[in-house]
Amino acid sequence: MRNEWPMALVIKAHPSSDGKVRKLELKVTKGGTVKTFFRPITECSPALNTSAHQKRGLIVPTDMND
């Protein structure tokens, strides 16, 4: 369905040759099915940003001033 944006966990950030993160590996669970896929960072929007999530590796910290 259009306009449905599932929550995903960031599994890994993939930097490009210039060292900036351009692609994320994400994990989504829907209806008991787990899917892993890649998305450009420009198509992702952070929903949670707490230090506890960062410590567990669930959120990749980014510098929004770049």
Residue 60 counted as domain residue: no
Dihedral, 55, 16, 34, 2 alpha carbons, nearest 10:
110
Amino acid sitting at position 18: D
State pLDDT tens for residues 30-64: 888 999 999 998 888 777 655 655 556 555 545 44
Is 29 within a domain? yes
Confidence of residue 65 (pLDDT cuts 50, 70, 90): very low
Record the pTM.
0.61
* Domain range enclosing 40: 9-55
Residue 19 lies in a domain: yes
In a domain, 4, yes or no: no
